[in-house]
């Protein structure tokens, strides 16, 4: 009886280990599961649907944004996994939870929602149906890949990472660079806009941008704080990560800057 029990236990353990390693392999190396693939410059695009060549323009534009980052690495290669409606997406949802329109994992930029490369849009459905700029979404996730590349997966992973405003604010800042450097843009009015939105919001979810998508407030707040620290205080992202000053202190400082020196536009 005891022997039989041991044998069943060993078999069960082995089966569980095989299932876990299969899931880990699939999660980390998703390209194996997709029927269609195209290679383009530093990108390997995978999908079960036909891949539109319009994606190349979007990838070029996303790369142009990422090149503006101090984390940019010209040798880094990205797998762009377009997995809307796929088996892979279902596993990803089950293991890591539903919500995000995209994720970054090792070299993989995983786009979980429907996209239209021709109109440069992605269509999240999590809280409601809405639209986001596909170039920004890709650039945002590519920066997450580079954060983990530079600082290590131990410091940047779903379970352990810097505070959210530092984690999400920087990819937001880089992916929105063109908008932030346009001549009718003003950081002080953006800060005011954020404070108004935050005051009106019932919880952390706010509609920060065109397209009607709701995001947790630290995306917008974090982007403004990173923008303030880099463009006004002239810190690098590396210095921001190493700095231990609290989020509250920096936010207060930024509000003071807006109320005083911020009146003299930079
Ligand atoms: Zn992110």
Q: What DSSP letter does each residue of 154-214 carry, written as one string?
A: TTSSSSS-S-HHHHHHHHHHHHTHHHHTSTT--HHHHHHHHHHHHHH-SSSEEE-STT--E
- The predicted pLDDT at position 208 comes to 72
Q: What is the mean pLDDT of each run of 10 residues along the chain (266 residues)?
A: 84 89 82 92 95 96 97 97 93 88 94 96 90 96 97 90 96 94 92 92 80 88 97 97 96 95 56
Taking CA 174 as the corner, what is the angle to CA 93 and CA 108, rounded to the nearest 5 degrees? 35
- The predicted pLDDT at position 1 comes to 63
Judge contact between 121 and 131, C-beta under 8 A: yes
- The predicted pLDDT at position 264 comes to 57
CA 9 to ligand 1 centroid distance, Å: 41
CA 266 to ligand 1 centroid distance, Å: 28
- The predicted pLDDT at position 90 comes to 92
How far from 179 is each of 108, 168, 176, 184, 185, CA to CA, in Å?
26, 17, 6, 9, 7
CA 102 to ligand 1 centroid distance, Å: 8
CA 8 to ligand 1 centroid distance, Å: 44
- The predicted pLDDT at position 75 comes to 96
pTM for this entry: 0.91
Calpha distance 88→102 (Å, rounded): 13
Calpha distance 170→181 (Å, rounded): 15
Judge contact between 169 and 240, C-beta under 8 A: no
Of 37, 35, 58, 200, the C-alpha closest to 118 is 58
Judge contact between 102 and 141, C-beta under 8 A: yes
DSSP β-bridge partners for residue 103: 110
Q: What is the DSSP letter of 120?
A: T
Mark the residues whose beta carbon lies below 5 A from ion ligand 1. Answer: 168
| All residues at 6 or more sequence positions from 84 whose CB lies less than 8 Å from its CB, including other chains | 111, 112, 113, 114, 115
- The predicted pLDDT at position 203 comes to 85
CA 249 to ligand 1 centroid distance, Å: 23
CA 232 to ligand 1 centroid distance, Å: 23
- The predicted pLDDT at position 206 comes to 78
Judge contact between 117 and 55, C-beta under 8 A: yes
Calpha distance 8→249 (Å, rounded): 58
């Amino acid at each position: 009886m005891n022997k039989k029990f041991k044998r069943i236990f060993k078999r069960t353990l082995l089966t569980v280990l095989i299932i876990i390693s299969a899931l880990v392999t699939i999660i980390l190396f998703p390209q194996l599961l997709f029927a269609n693939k195209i290679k383009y410059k530093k990108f390997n695009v995978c999908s079960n649907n036909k891949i539109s060549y319009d994606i190349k323009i979007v990838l070029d534009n996303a790369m142009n944004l990422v090149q503006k980052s101090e984390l940019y690495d010209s040798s880094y290669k990205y797998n762009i996994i377009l997995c809307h409606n796929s088996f892979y997406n279902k596993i990803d949802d089950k293991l890591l939870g539903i919500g995000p329109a995209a994720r970054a994992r090792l070299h993989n930029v995983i786009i979980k929602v429907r996209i239209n490369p021709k109109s440069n849009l992605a269509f999240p459905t999590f809280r409601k149906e809405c639209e986001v700029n596909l170039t920004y979404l890709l650039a945002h996730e590519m920066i997450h890949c580079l954060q983990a590349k530079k600082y290590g997966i131990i410091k940047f992973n779903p379970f352990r990472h810097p505070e959210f405003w530092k984690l999400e604010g920087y990819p937001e800042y880089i992916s929105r660079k063109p908008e932030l450097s346009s001549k009718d843009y003003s950081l002080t009015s953006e800060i005011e806009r954020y404070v108004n939105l935050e005051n009106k919001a019932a919880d952390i979810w706010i509609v920060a941008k065109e397209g009607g998508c709701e995001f947790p407030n630290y995306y917008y707040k974090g982007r403004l704080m990173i923008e303030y620290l880099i463009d006004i205080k002239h810190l690098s992202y590396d210095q921001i990560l190493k700095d231990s000053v609290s989020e509250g202190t920096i936010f207060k400082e930024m509000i003071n800057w807006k109320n005083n020196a911020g009146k003299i536009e930079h």
